[in-house]
Structure 1
Amino acid sequence: MTTISEKVLHFRTLNDLSQADLGKKIEEITGESCDRHAISRYENGKRKIPVNYVPVLARIFGISTDELFFSSNELKQQHSDTRSLEVQIAEFKELAATNSSTLSMKALEIIDKAKAEIQDLKGQVKTWQKDAQKYKDELENIKPVIKKIGKYIEQMESFTN
């Protein structure tokens, strides 16, 4: 799949949608009339997909807009340093179509990594909560000083008036 037209066809069939179903979903979201004939023309490349339909199609298909424009290899290259969730989803979809056992193993690897990241985030939250409490305590200690300064300023202003 190299064109957006081919990808619309691919994701429509992957989601078990007829052209009429897809047209109805687009119409529900955009309020614009979109029938099966329009979808057919989009998929055949006879008509360009309106730019405002791109995020709508991504939402309907449960994918990112990048997945409509780029192949999974292109997504991998774009995000080679930080394998984003979008890249992983693209890989999963590719594996689901070709090799379900490999998909299961990869999914388990991702779940293990996610678990470790969640634990790390929980640790960060605890640290931030401690810091927030420390700053709150410091603020409580400073409030009396601020009140004294405020009274001092009032006294100084009364002398100058």
Structure 2
Amino acid sequence: MAKFTLWWVKWNGSNYESRMTVGSRKATVEDFKERGFDKIVVLDGEGRGSHYTGPYYDSGRNDGKEFARWVADHISGVPLYITIPFKRPDGSQRDQALISFKYSGVNSYYKGWIDGVLSIDNSNLRGFYWSYESCLQTGNYGKNVSREFIQYV
């Protein structure tokens, strides 16, 4: 059976850094492997911990590429999943998600993020993790995301 771990990272104003520590030092991929984990989900706190440069496809692409480079430089030898950040550092939504991703994808920050991550060669990448994990995200409570958006993303 697969054993997943969550590796929390954050943007520190100039680069990404691990939020995970082992004693007084930053955690490494070896720390997770030694504990028996064989898959890593790299998270950023629903997007609040990811660099955000703007609401458009190109900025999403650059932000995703920057995140994926950090991941590729710090995590190797284990399958991994990279977050798709829902929120901005200020807590507001990064882009429109109430309309279908299929139709908004041309200018979508989220589409740019995905394309940016995929532009970095990383044979360990297995997929993405949608960081807005509320089971109510498409319901009447806090309706922030359309079902069609989730289906296409």
Q: Which has the higher strand share?
A: 2
Structure number with higher relative contact order (C-alpha < 8 Å, ≥ 6 residues apart): 2
Computing the radius of gyration over CA atoms, which structure comes out larger, 1 or 2?
A: 1
Q: State the TM bucket, normalised to the shorter chain.
A: under 0.3
